């Protein structure tokens, strides 16, 4: 597995790069696994592939606050990220790991590795719901939302890791989630989410412990990323469905 520590200049470029890494792996003709870590310089909202933008996001508030809204290639509900939220994406070979062709097993595999690594720093970290990581037990509070995209030979699994994020931005940008895991128990955003008590350096190291990367990826798919931005991630038709 190769490592890419790469944050690009715009929200569209950063969302596009995750998809580009998946497509580059598919085109490689062999198993090609990559771990990417990044962190946006300003807040942004990213909605799931099939989510209605106006059903999960307060678009008026986002416009007033200057928060861009983009649609990712994977499923799941809307997330808010920005400074203080470490983002990760791991591209895995389903030829090497056939169980990953089942979405539920992909969730268990990736989140299980992250739980094991993060518990070395915060012992109450656990997998909750379909694809969340949370801390505490009375009740648990979410610090990580994750989603998956399956292709023919590779899987893209990516998500959020809150550590020093201004949580009120989540409440400002998102509506009440239309789909909620049972453990949420109808809590509002500020009662449901939390920052993980860990430094950025230790958080980054934990992700790399979960997915060891003995070498760096030097030739990342810049041209494909640029094309995806032009054709998809800069377009309201894709991002907002209009």
Q: What is the pLDDT of residue 226?
A: 98
What CA–CA distance (Å, rounded) separates 237 from 231? Answer: 10
- How large is the average pLDDT for residues 199-209? 98
Average pLDDT (117-125) is 97
Residues 6 or more apart from 63 whose CB is under 8 A from it?
A: none
Tens digits of per-residue pLDDT, 133-181?
Answer: 999 988 999 999 999 999 999 999 999 999 999 999 999 999 987 888 9
Specify the 3-state DSSP secondary structure of 20. helix
Q: Is a pLDDT exceeding 80 seen at residue 15? A: yes
Both tokens of 99, joined, read 């169980």
> What share of the chain has pLDDT > 90, as a percent?
95
pLDDT on residue 137: 84
On the question of pLDDT at 219 being above 70, the answer is yes
Per-residue CA distances from 227 to 8, 28, 36, 150 (Å): 14, 18, 19, 21
CB-CB contact of 84 with 196 (8 Å): no
Between residues 124 and 180, the one the model is more confident about: 124
pLDDT of 154 reads: 98
pLDDT computed for residue 211 by the predictor? 98
Q: Alpha-carbon distance 136 to 112, whole Å?
A: 17
Specify the range with the lowest mean pLDDT, choosing from 159-168, 172-181, 190-199, 222-231.
172-181
* Average pLDDT value for the chain: 96
Position 59 confidence tier, pLDDT thresholds 50, 70, 90: very high
Peptide bond into 77 cis (omega under 30): no
Mean pLDDT, residues 10-28 taken together: 98
Which CATH superfamily groups domain 2-239? Bira Bifunctional Protein; Domain 2 (3.30.930.10)
Specify the pLDDT at position 138.
85
Average pLDDT over residues 43-50: 96
What's the confidence (pLDDT) of residue 178? 80
Q: What is the pLDDT of residues 73-102, one digit of tens each?
A: 999 999 999 999 999 999 999 999 999 999
Token reading at 65: 């606050």
Spatial strand order of the sheet with 69-71 comes to 69-71, 44-47, 79-81
pLDDT at 242 over 70: no
pTM of the model: 0.96
């Amino acid at each position: 597995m190769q490592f890419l520590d790469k944050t690009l200049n715009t929200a569209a470029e950063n969302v596009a790069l995750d998809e580009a890494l998946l497509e580059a792996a598919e085109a490689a003709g062999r198993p090609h696994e990559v771990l990417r870590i990044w962190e946006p310089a300003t807040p942004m909202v990213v909605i799931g592939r099939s989510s209605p933008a106006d059903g999960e996001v307060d678009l008026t508030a986002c416009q007033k606050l200057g928060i861009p809204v983009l649609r990712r290639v994977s499923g799941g509900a809307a997330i808010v990220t920005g400074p203080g939220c470490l983002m990760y994406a791991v591209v895995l070979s389903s030829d090497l790991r056939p169980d990953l062709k089942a979405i539920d097993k992909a969730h268990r595999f990736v989140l299980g590795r992250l739980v094991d690594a993060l518990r070395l720093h915060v012992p109450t970290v656990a997998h909750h719901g379909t694809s969340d990581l949370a801390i505490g037990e009375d009740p648990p509070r979410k610090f990580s939302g994750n989603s998956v995209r399956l292709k023919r030979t590779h899987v893209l699994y990516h998500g959020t890791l809150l550590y020093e994020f201004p949580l009120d931005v989540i409440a400002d940008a998102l509506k009440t989630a239309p789909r909620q895991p049972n453990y949420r128990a109808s809590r509002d955003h500020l009662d449901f989410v939390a920052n993980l008590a860990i430094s950025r350096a230790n958080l980054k190291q934990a992700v790399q412990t979960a997915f060891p990367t003995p070498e760096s990826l030097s030739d990342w798919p810049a041209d494909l990323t640029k094309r995806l931005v032009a054709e998809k991630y800069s377009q309201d038709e894709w991002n907002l469905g209009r």
